[in-house]
Amino acid sequence: MPATPHVEKHFTGSETVRDIVIGMSDGLTVPFALAAGLTGAVASTGIVVTAGFAEIAAGSIAMGLGGYLAAKSEMNHYEAERRRESHECEIVPEKEEEEVAAVLRDFGMSETELVPVVKAIRSDRKRWVDFMMRFELGLEQPDPRRARQSAFTIALSYIVGGLVPLASYIFIKDIQTALYASVVMTLIALFFFGFVKGHFTGISKFKSGFQTTLIGGLAAAAAFGIARAIA
């Protein structure tokens, strides 16, 4: 009988999920805190919406720029370490060869087994440096498009998250009613966001939803308290 093909399913979008989490979490909590804080200080929902949009614009730009710079720093670090490792393979090849052997010993290879493997790795400079970067330093080459993608993902997630607590102020004219609706909508959004995050990361979806709601709710409550105290 033909064997059933073995298909491994691994989640490979962890960096994108991390960016969405960063952007969405701040987007849900910071504009909510601003809107809730202003609710006790102004009488018009229009003022809250205007201030909220200004905060979303500034926050998304700042968060996106932060993601871009972080990704660029990661790329610069990788390139600097790769240049250093390549230089060491050139000037102290015996030392680098022993480091390859040490890595292979950690995988349980005997001295007899590792000799031809070390020789094969050393025979190709790029392969040699790739091996040292991955198994000695634990560094994977970042995607060169990562900086732009990270900036866009974080900024867009912030905007989407920020629109949730502001939506009630856009459609409801009574400012107190808008506040109550904003609280409910933000908590629902936090749960849904955590639920989806759990689906993609492979953990319990309901547990992830409740955790995200609790943590995000506490953060929003703390920010709300500070905003109201200042206002």
Locus of tokens 């991955």: 134
Confidence label for 108 from pLDDT (cuts 50, 70 and 90): confident
3-state SS record for the chain: CCCCCCCCCCCCCHHHHHHHHHHHHHHHHHHHHHHHHHHCCCCCHHHHHHHHHHHHHHHHHHHHHHHHHHHHHHHHHHHHHHHHHHHHHHHCHHHHHHHHHHHHHHCCCCHHHHHHHHHHHHCCHHHHHHHHHHHHCCCCCCCCCHHHHHHHHHHHHHHHHHHHHHHHHHHCCCHHHHHHHHHHHHHHHHHHHHHHHHHHHCCCHHHHHHHHHHHHHHHHHHHHHHHHHHC
pLDDT at 127 over 90: no
pLDDT at 64 over 60: yes
Tokens of 8: 């491994």
Q: State mean pLDDT over 139-160.
A: 88
Confidence label for 59 from pLDDT (cuts 50, 70 and 90): very high
Reported as a single tens digit per residue, the pLDDT across 128-145 is: 888 888 888 887 888 888
Residue 50 pLDDT: 92
Q: State mean pLDDT over 163-177.
A: 91
pLDDT at 153 over 60: yes
Confidence label for 15 from pLDDT (cuts 50, 70 and 90): confident
Confidence label for 225 from pLDDT (cuts 50, 70 and 90): confident
Q: What percent of the chain has pLDDT over 70?
A: 90
Q: State mean pLDDT over 54-65.
A: 93
Cα gap 17→129, rounded to integer Å = 30
Domain limits, the chain: 14-73+148-230, 77-136
Residue 58 pLDDT: 94
Residue 167 pLDDT: 92
Confidence label for 88 from pLDDT (cuts 50, 70 and 90): confident
Confidence label for 26 from pLDDT (cuts 50, 70 and 90): confident
pLDDT at 89 over 60: yes
